[in-house]
Amino acid sequence: MASSNWGYDDKNGPEQWGKLYPIANGNKQSPINIKTSETKHDTSLKPISISYDPATAKEIINVGHSFHVNYEDNDNRSVLRGGPLSESYRLCQFHFHWGSTNDYGSEHTVDGVKYSGEFHLVHWNSTKYSSFAEAISQADGLAIIGVLMKNKRAPFTNFDPSTLLPSSLDYWTYSGSLTHPPLYESVTWIICKDSINISPEQLAQFRSLLSTVEGDKAVPIQHNHRPPQPLKGRVVRASF
What is the model's pLDDT at position 164?
87
- Give CA–CA dist 171/143, Å, rounded: 13
Q: Is 56 helix (H, G, I), strand (E, B) or coil?
A: helix
Cβ proximity of 127 and 99 under 8 Å: no
User: What residues have CB less than 8 Å from 63, skipping those under 6 apart?
Assistant: 1, 2, 95
* CA angle, 11 then 17 then 22, to 5°: 150
Asked, for residue 61, whether it belongs to a domain, the answer is: yes
Classify 16 as helix, strand or coil.
helix
Residue type, 102: N
For residue 153, being part of any structural domain is answered with yes
State pTM to two decimals: 0.93
Catalytic residue among 65, 123, 180, 225: 65
Give the DSSP H/E element, type plus range, for residue 35.
Answer: none
- CB of 207 closer than 8 Å to CB of 100: yes
Q: With CA atoms as reference, report the closest residue to 153 among 228, 111, 203, 83.
A: 203
pLDDT in tens, 107-124: 999 999 999 999 999 999
Q: CB 2: neighbour CB atoms within 10 A?
A: 12
Say which residues have a Cβ less than 8 Å from residue 86's Cβ, sequence separation at least 6.
Answer: none
CATH of the domain at 205: 3.10.200.10
**Coil vs helix vs strand at 77:** coil
The Cα 230–Cα 212 span in angstroms is 31
- Could you give the C-alpha distances from 8 to 20, 29, 112, 223, in angstroms and in order? 14, 17, 21, 7
Decide if 90 contacts 70 (C-beta within 8 A).
no
**In a domain? residue 1:** no
Domain extent at residue 228: 14-238
Judge whether 2 lies within some domain: no
pLDDT at 158 over 60: no
pLDDT for res 172: 99
Within a domain: residue 53? Answer: yes
Q: Is 201 a domain residue?
A: yes
* 217 has a pLDDT exceeding 80: no
Number of independent structural domains in the chain: 1
The share of the chain scoring above pLDDT 90, in percent, equals: 79
- Average pLDDT, stretch 151-155? 69
Would residue 65 show up in a list of annotated catalytic residues for this protein? yes
Give a yes or no: residue 136 inside a domain: yes
pLDDT over threshold 80, residue 157: no
Reference 121, options 78, 174, 154; nearest CA is 78
Cis geometry, peptide bond prior to residue 155 (ω within 30 degrees of 0): no
CA distance 186 to 160: 26
Judge whether 180 lies within some domain: yes
Helix, strand, coil shares of the chain as percentages rounded to 5? 15, 30, 55
